[in-house]
Amino acid sequence: RKEVEQDPGPFNVPEGATVAFNCTYSNSASQSFFWYRQDCRKEPKLLMSVYSSGNEDGRFTAQLNRASQYISLLIRDSKLSDSATYLCVVNKAGNQFYFGTGTSLTVIP
Amino acid sequence: GAVVSQHPSWVICKSGTSVKIECRSLDFQATTMFWYRQFPKQSLMLMATSNEGSKATYEQGVEKDKFLINHASLTLSTLTVTSAHPEDSSFYICSSQTGGNTGELFFGEGSRLTVL
């Protein structure tokens, strides 16, 4: 079983839509969780860290469910500029990072 | 945030030549550097973890003699693709962590290698 499982999509949504991505992880000892955004032919950039209590940054909301071992990202009021690949990243301990395959999002005018 | 500078951004070379990619941490000491490879429409695949002053740890299936990693200082790690072939064409990215406890990874800009 993969350490991190993520629906690759693609998700094609109209502008203004709300879209949610989920990611599951296999190791209950995982410590830190992140959502990264990667634009085509660019390096990943941190979008949000994910905390147990859930956290929100503008139109973006991230949640962590340790009992079910999944993290989620909700994007409200999608903009064209949100089109990208969204990677979930799980840090098990120290130097051990695991990446999801990435979910491709295209926001359509 | 912390900055990792990667060079070159693009490289095109002939089959059989060697290519060196450098990653520098500009404002922190990178004790550890992760090297990834990413093929089109696929996720990042960890190739190896380099530690300053010691040998790199390679992931299963990655040839250490083909992908030479050097991490001689706390601010510089290099990946050399030796005797590159067209199947080595890919996007190579490095990343590191700062000494803080956030767990966040900081990525270089990536190097796109095309082997003719």
> Mean pLDDT, to the nearest integer, of B104-116?
93
Return the structure tokens found at A35: 């959502």
Residue B99 distance to chain A (closest CA, Å) = 11
Angle ∠(A61,A63,A67) on CA atoms, nearest 5: 170
B105 touches chain A (CB under 8 A): yes
Q: Which of B69, B78, B105, B58 is nearest to A97 (CA)?
A: B105
A22-74: pLDDT as tens digits? 999 998 888 889 999 999 889 999 999 998 888 999 999 999 999 999 999 99
Distance of CA B36 to the CA centre of its chain: 6
pLDDT exceeds 60 at position B101: no
Lowest mean pLDDT among A81-85, B48-52, B90-94: B48-52
Q: Quick one: closest CA in B to A86, which residue?
A: B43
Is residue A82 helix, strand or coil? helix
Q: Do A34 and B103 touch (CB under 8 A)?
A: yes
User: What is d(CA B63, CA B78) in angstroms, rounded to the nearest whole number?
Assistant: 16
Residue B7 or residue A92, greater confidence? B7
Predicted confidence at residue B102, as pLDDT, reads 65
pLDDT exceeds 70 at position B93: yes
Q: Which of B63, B46, B44, B64 is nearest to B55 (CA)?
A: B64
Is-contact B116 B104, C-beta < 8 A?
no
